[in-house]
Amino acid sequence: MRTALERRHHENTATVTDPRRSFDIVLRVREFGIIAVLVVFVAVTYGIQHRFLSGQNITFILFDTTIFAFLALGEAMVVIARCVDLSVGSVLGLSAYLCGRLFSVVHGIPIPVVFLVGLLIGLGCGVVNGLIVAVGRVPSLVVTLASLYIIRGIDGLVVGGGVVVASSMPSSFITMGKATIFHVPYVTIVVAILIALGAYYLRSYRSGRELYAIGSNPEAARLVGIRTGWRVFNAFAVSGAIAGVCGVLWASYFGTVDSTAGTGYELQVIAAVVVGGVAIFGGSGTVIGAALGALLLETINTALYVLGISSFWDSAIAGVLLLVAISLDHTITLHVTAARRKRGNRLVT
C-alpha cells in the first residue's frame, strides 16, 4: 500500500516537474527577496555609519530578533495551517512574570527548571487554544482573541501592581542572555537551531507537510484522511509552548517584568511572519522566511536608530514593507497558480 502510494507519488513528481520547479524557484526567490532587502539595508546603513556593524550593535540586533523570530516560528506553523494565534503576547507576559517570580519563591531554583516551567505554562495555554479551535471548530481568530484577553487578565490579577525586578533574579539568569560568542548571543544560536529544526520538520516530515495541506484546503485535507484537528491542535500547542519559553527569555533580557510585558506583540509577530512570506490564509511560506522577516523588521528598527533618522519613521517603513510583501506574494501566487493551471490542462489533454 505504502510503496504503491510512494510510487504514484514519484510518478506524479516526475510528470509534474515543471510547475514544481517553477514553484521552488519562486519560493527561493521569495526568501532571496527578503535577504536581498536585508543586505541592501545593512550595506547602505553600514556605508553611512560604520558603527552599525559593530560587535555590540550586532549583539543588540540579534538578541532583539531572537524572541521575535522564535515567536514567529510558532506563529508561522499556526498560520501555515490557516489559523492565527493572537494570544502569544499574553502568554509571553504571563510566563515572564510567573517565571520571574519563581526565583524569589523558590530560592536557588535551577535555570533549566524555570525554562521548563515557562514551557509548561505556555504549553498549557496553547493546549487550551488548540482544544477549543480543533474540537469546537471555532475560528481561531476569535478563540485566540478571547484568550488574549483572558490570559492577560489572569496575568493582571496575578501580578496586581507587582513588578519583578532584576535584583530578585539570580545574576546568572540575567547575564545568560547577554553571553556571546563572536558577538552572537548563545541564546540566538540555540533559537536558530530550533528554527532550522522546525524548517526541516515542516519541509520533510509528513506531519509537517500536512500542515501545508490543511492550510491550502482544509476540507480537501480532511477528505484525504489528514487528521486536521489533531494537527491544528499540535500547532497551537507548539506556538503556546514557544511563547512560554520566550517569556522566560524576556524576563532574562529585560530584567523587569510587570503586567504589561509583551503587550501588542501578537500583531508584530504576525507582521514578521507575513513579511517573511507566509500567506496569511495558510498553505505556503517557511519558518525560515518568518524568522528572516523578524530579523528584517528588527534590523530596520536599529538601522534607523543608528542612522540618526528619528525612530518615528520606523513603523511607517515597516508598514510599507509589509504591504509590499503582501502584494508581492499575491502577484507571485497568481502567477504560480496560472502556471499550474496551464500545466494541468496540458496533462489532461
Partner 1 sequence: MSPEKAAGQPGVDLQGKLPAPAGPDGTVPSRANLQRWMRWETGLAVLLIGTVVFGISVSSEFLSSYNLFSLGLSNGEIAIMVLPMALIVMTGEIDLSVAANLGLSSSMVGYLWTHGWPMPGIIVTVLVLGLVLGTFNGLLVTRLGLPSLAVTIGTRILYGGIAEIILGSNIISNFPASYTNIGVTAVPHTDLSFSALVFLVLAVVVAIVLHATPLGRSIFAIGANKEAALYAGIRVKRIKTGLFMLSGVMCALAGILYTFRLSTAEFDNGTGLELPVVAIVLFGGVSIFGGKGSMGGVVLAVLVFSGIQNVLLLTNFNQEGVGVVTGGLLLLSVLAPNIGELRGRAVQYIDRFRRRPIADAEPGA
Window of 9-17, 24-32, 104-112, 322-330 that interacts with partner 1 by CB under 8 A: 322-330
Query: Which one, of 115, 85, 58, lies nearest residue 298 by Cα?
Result: 58
The one among 207, 335, 337, 341 contacting partner 1 by CB under 8 A: 207
**Residues 230-259 interacting with partner 1 (rule: CB under 8 A):** 259
The one among 16, 53, 307, 317 contacting partner 1 by CB under 8 A: 317
CB of 157 to partner 1, least distance (A): 5
302: contact with partner 1 by CB under 8 A = no
310: contact with partner 1 by CB under 8 A = yes
**Euclidean distance between CA atoms 69 and 299, whole angstroms:** 12
Query: Which one, of 110, 91, 210, lies nearest residue 150 by Cα?
Result: 91
225: contact with partner 1 by CB under 8 A = yes
User: Other CB atoms closer than 10 Å to residue 344's CB: what's the count?
Assistant: 11
One-letter amino acid at 337 equals T
Give SS3 for 251: helix
163: contact with partner 1 by CB under 8 A = no
CB of 325 to partner 1, least distance (A): 8
The one among 155, 235, 237, 265 contacting partner 1 by CB under 8 A: 155
When the beta carbons of 97 and 115 are compared against partner 1, the nearer one is 97
Window of 37-45, 70-78, 97-105, 222-230 that interacts with partner 1 by CB under 8 A: 222-230
CB of 208 to partner 1, least distance (A): 9
User: Other CB atoms closer than 10 Å to residue 251's CB: what's the count?
Assistant: 30
Query: Position of cell 509537517?
Result: 208
Which segments of the chain are extended strands (E)? 180-181, 184-185
CB of 56 to partner 1, least distance (A): 25
**Euclidean distance between CA atoms 300 and 209, whole angstroms:** 32
141: contact with partner 1 by CB under 8 A = yes
CA angle 233, 235, 239 (to 5 degrees): 120
Contact assessment for residue 252 and residue 76, using Cβ atoms and an 8 Å cutoff: no
The one among 116, 229, 339, 343 contacting partner 1 by CB under 8 A: 229
The one among 99, 148, 241, 246 contacting partner 1 by CB under 8 A: 148
154: contact with partner 1 by CB under 8 A = yes
Contact assessment for residue 57 and residue 180, using Cβ atoms and an 8 Å cutoff: no
CB of 163 to partner 1, least distance (A): 14
User: Quick one: angle between helices 287-307 and 265-275, nearest 10?
Assistant: 110
Q: What DSSP character marks residue 164?
A: B
Q: What DSSP character marks residue 226?
A: -
Would you tell me which residues interact with partner 1 (CB under 8 A)? 82, 84, 86, 132, 135-139, 141-143, 145-157, 159-160, 204-207, 217-219, 222, 225, 227, 229, 259, 263-264, 267, 270-271, 274, 280-281, 310, 312-320, 322-323, 326-327, 330
